[in-house]
């Protein structure tokens, strides 16, 4: 999963990125509103953490521009304690959730995981896909109840496919949600990892559709 963090406080931004990385995310960070608006408009993300008090362009304006141009990525806004007007403005602009400063980093991660799960149409924290189950809060994937031993990259690929089960995920889409902006996209590496995943979860769970991408079926 891939996150965009738009926060001008470098310490907090780094803390958020580290917490998201520990939860299996790759993150891009923007230190001002204009950079954040550009990244959110031109790159693919699973979730955005957006501070409202930003230099260059206010967070509300950033969010309004995204929604006006059709960007539907779930957005978690960061607000000051007790500033209800900011929360209301954020929701009216299209925010999906908020966290009040100061906050616990694990709370923000949990809220982001929930937004991603709901955006993919899953109501429960544990997402089932045939013989596979993903605990979206703990980040544990099991096969027939037994936890799989996965590398971080394998975990990210399989989690994304489970979130988007029963539809074809193109290699481009998958790479867009696996790598940050500073990493070159590598389709060959993805194909190699898909092969390793098949050996770990069994043949027939992940299908390769030639020229289209990958399909993980919910029926096991």
Distance between CA atoms of 206 and 197, rounded to whole angstroms?
A: 9
Residues of the chain with pLDDT under 70: 81-82, 219-220
- Domain extents for the chain? 2-119, 126-216
For domain 2-119, which architecture applies?
3-Layer(aba) Sandwich (3.40)
Distance between CA atoms of 209 and 39, rounded to whole angstroms?
A: 30
193 touches 157 (CB < 8 A): yes
The sheet carrying 140-143 orders its strands as 126-129, 132-135, 140-143, 146-147
* Neighbouring-strand partners of residue 76: 49, 97
Q: Please name the fold of domain 126-216.
A: Arc Repressor Mutant, subunit A (1.10.10)
Would you state the pLDDT for residue 3? 97
Would you state the pLDDT for residue 182? 76
DSSP 78: E
Q: Where are the alpha helices (DSSP H) in the chain?
A: 10-22, 33-42, 59-68, 84-93, 105-119, 152-163, 171-176, 187-201
pTM: 0.86
Would you state the pLDDT for residue 87? 86
Would you state the pLDDT for residue 81? 66
Would you state the pLDDT for residue 219? 66
């Amino acid at each position: 999963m891939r996150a965009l963090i738009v926060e001008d406080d470098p310490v907090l931004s780094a803390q958020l990125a580290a917490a998201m990385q520990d939860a299996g995310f790759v993150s891009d960070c923007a230190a001002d509103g204009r950079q954040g608006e550009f990244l959110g408009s031109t790159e693919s993300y699973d979730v955005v953490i957006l501070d409202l008090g930003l230099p260059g362009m206010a967070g509300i304006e950033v969010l309004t521009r995204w929604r006006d141009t059709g960007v539907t990525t779930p957005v978690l806004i960061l607000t000051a304690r007790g500033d209800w007007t900011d929360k209301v403005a954020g929701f009216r602009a299209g925010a999906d959730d908020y966290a009040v400063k100061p906050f616990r980093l694990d709370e923000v991660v949990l809220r982001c995981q929930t937004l991603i799960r709901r955006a993919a149409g899953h109501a429960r924290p544990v997402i089932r896909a045939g013989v596979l189950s993903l605990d979206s809060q703990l980040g544990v994937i099991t096969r027939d109840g037994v936890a799989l031993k996965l590398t971080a990259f394998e975990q990210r690929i399989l989690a994304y496919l489970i979130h988007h089960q029963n539809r074809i995920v193109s290699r481009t889409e998958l790479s867009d949600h696996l790598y940050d902006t500073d990493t070159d996209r590598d389709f060959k590496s993805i194909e190699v990892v898909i092969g390793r995943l098949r050996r770990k979860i069994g043949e027939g769970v992940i299908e390769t559709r030639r020229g289209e991408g990958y399909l993980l079926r919910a029926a096991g």
